[in-house]
Chains A and B, each alone.
Chain A
Amino acid sequence: QKEVEQDPGPLSVPEGAIVSLNCTYSNSAFQYFMWYRQYSRKGPELLMYTYSSGNKEDGRFTAQVDKSSKYISLFIRDSQPSDSATYLCAMSVGTYKYIFGTGTRLKVLA
């Protein structure tokens, strides 16, 4: 079993839809949870960062962490074609190395 599981997609949604992206993990020691967006042939860029459990909102993006279920989510409201990218979840124990999910490819159709 991988430490971090993420559905690779692709996930196709119409413009304006609410997108839900998820990751599950097995290591209960993870404390830091991140979501990165990666456009084709580019490096990942940080979208959301959460320490421990709870919700965090930034514009159209909301990140949720449920440590009891070992489950994290990223919601994108009013999705736009420019949101089409691969979304990677990442998590770490303390300041140790990140463990990445495989990434979910999202396509927002105009």
Chain B
Amino acid sequence: GAVVSQHPSWVICKSGTSVKIECRSLDFQATTMFWYRQFPKQSLMLMATSNEGSKATYEQGVEKDKFLINHASLTLSTLTVTSAHPEDSSFYICSARDRRSLRSGANVLTFGAGSRLTVL
């Protein structure tokens, strides 16, 4: 089945630094990837939709200059948290949609294992 790899699984950084999180689809091509944020004991909050070869679409209230998204290829999307602050500490999860599932009429997302960010 479809596999999404997310790296790093956890990262600790100092306030003011930038952190990059990678999301790769290992055995399929993904024209669209999604980035979510999850707070403890809460559901997934969609941050942005990453489209290969074009600008990401951000959800209302998400700062695009704070959370930079790049989807340079059909298998890789990156999320960069710029000038991170303690309030950015969270669990970030990416997901991808297999193009083959779209052709079959399905709409199944495969999730990465998540990246836990702690900003000191």
Chain A interface residues (CB < 8 Å from chain B): 6, 8, 31-32, 34, 36, 41-46, 49, 51, 88, 90, 92, 94-95, 97-98, 100-103, 105
Contact = CB atoms under 8 A, between A and B. Distances in A.
B95, B106, B109, B113 interface centre (most CB from chain A within 10 Å):
B109
A92 B107 contact: yes
A17 B109 CA distance: 29
Interface of B: 4, 6, 34, 41-44, 46, 49, 91, 93, 95, 97, 102, 105-114, 116
Nearest to B116: A41
A24 to B, nearest CB: 15
A49 B114 CA distance: 21
A77 B45 CA distance: 30
Given A95-B97, A95-B102, A97-B34, A45 B111 contact: yes
A42 B107 contact: no
Contact of B108 (A6, A31, A46): A46
A21 to B, nearest CB: 14
Contacts of B4: 43
A6 B42 CA distance: 11
A8 B105 CA distance: 31
Contacts of B34: 97-98
B43 A41 contact: no
A32 to B, nearest CB: 5
Contacts of A44: 44, 93, 111
Nearest to A10: B41
Among A32, A92, A101, the most chain B Cβ lie within 10 Å of the Cβ of A32
A98 B43 contact: no
29 contacts: A6-B43, A8-B41, A32-B106, A34-B108, A34-B109, A42-B113, A42-B114, A43-B4, A43-B6, A43-B95, A43-B112, A43-B113, A44-B93, A45-B111, A46-B108, A46-B110, A46-B111, A51-B107, A88-B43, A90-B109, A92-B107, A94-B107, A95-B102, A95-B107, A97-B34, A98-B34, A98-B109, A102-B43, A103-B42
